[in-house]
Amino acid sequence: MSIVLTGGGTGGHLAIVDAVKEHITSEKIYIGSVKGQDRAWFEDDNTFSKKYFLESGSVVDKGKIGKIFALWGVAKQVVVARKILKESGAKVVFSVGGYSAAPASFAAITMGIPLVIHEQNAAVGTLNKILKPFAKYFISSYDANSPIKAYATKKVFFDTARVRKELKTILISGGSQGAKAVNEFALKIAPELAKRGIKIYHQAGERNLESVKVEYEKLGIKAEVFGFTKKMPQIMQEADFAIARAGASTLWELVANGLPTLFVPYPYAAGDHQYYNAKYLADEGLAFMFRENELDENKVLEILDNTDLEDISIKLMSEISSDGAKKIAELLEELA
């Protein structure tokens, strides 16, 4: 008997797999893709009894001819996935979406194996829209009908949560890959932040790391500039306010940590899903949101000056429970 976890491509999808698998006691098997970050995350992960990385790729970003070849490629990988599910005695397949999830998800449906889908974003992804009618359960923190509302966020972000009361430290992040607009804005507002004695943590991205460091040096400002880091929970814990992208995992990690945030959605995200993720919180008065072209130092400083950090921080921590990953794992175990 085994539980198969599938999907990935990006860190956000993989973070869900990472959080849920910690609570599964049955045999765990992972099916991902040779593309994206799947191998980097799980190739050396011994908590999975077996790991498979298939030749799956994206379909939605292709032209007409490209889509035909991509769909044919998915069909061939479904055959491979069916063999894996049969040999492993799979009792349930848990999909977090992304192109990595397609072969195992379609294989599960054709074999009558229960499929459980986790949709990370407020705007449902293309693959999940197709698969939703065939899924045993469809889990989404944004869906009132979801059997589990809690987002599967790692425990460390709850453990490092605290109520903010005073702005002493700010985290500005465009993600581990960086974001040009966020980096440029950070350098514009940095002199005023420094003047106010606010410590700056800036995740500039690996590609832009050195150039951003040089710009801070030119400004004469001491900022903690970094690209990828495994210390994000600790950095979040120290921060009193954040300016960040609105990918689902990042968004809910910030919520779990109780960190008030101004979200700057990535404008080219599929289906503009980062905008809708941030809008979900902004509509509840739990976050702020600006498009990249709306970023303005005076507007942001006004938010920093007039925001009740304590009130928002407390409300954020009540927005998400810490047992999301455990509840999903228990559901999978029950089906298995």
Quick: pLDDT tens for 141-200: 998 889 998 898 888 999 999 999 999 999 999 876 668 899 999 999 999 999 999 999
Q: Can you give the pLDDT at residue 71? A: 52
Helix, strand, coil percentages, rounded to 5, for the chain = 45, 15, 35
Neighbours of 60 (CB within 10 A): 12
Is residue 160 within 8 A of residue 236, CB to CB? The reply is yes
Q: Can you give the pLDDT at residue 5? A: 97
Provide the terminal-to-terminal Cα distance of the chain, rounded to the nearest Å.
Answer: 7
Specify burial of residue 271 (Cβ count, 10 A radius: 0-12, 13-18, 19+). Answer: middle
What does each of the 336 residues of the chain score in pLDDT, given as a tens digit?
A: 899 999 988 777 888 999 899 999 999 999 999 888 899 899 999 999 999 999 875 555 555 554 455 555 577 889 999 999 999 999 999 999 888 899 999 999 999 999 999 999 998 988 899 999 999 999 999 988 899 988 988 889 999 999 999 999 999 998 766 688 999 999 999 999 999 999 999 999 888 999 999 999 999 999 999 998 889 999 999 999 999 999 998 999 999 999 999 999 999 888 899 999 999 999 999 999 999 999 999 999 999 999 999 999 999 999 998 999 999 999 999 999
Q: Can you give the pLDDT at residue 121? A: 92
Calpha distance 174→212 (Å, rounded): 12
DSSP reduced 3-state for 285: coil
Q: What is the pTM of this model?
A: 0.86
Residue ranges and CATH numbers for the domains of the chain are 2-153+322-335 (3.40.50.2000), 156-317 (3.40.50.2000)
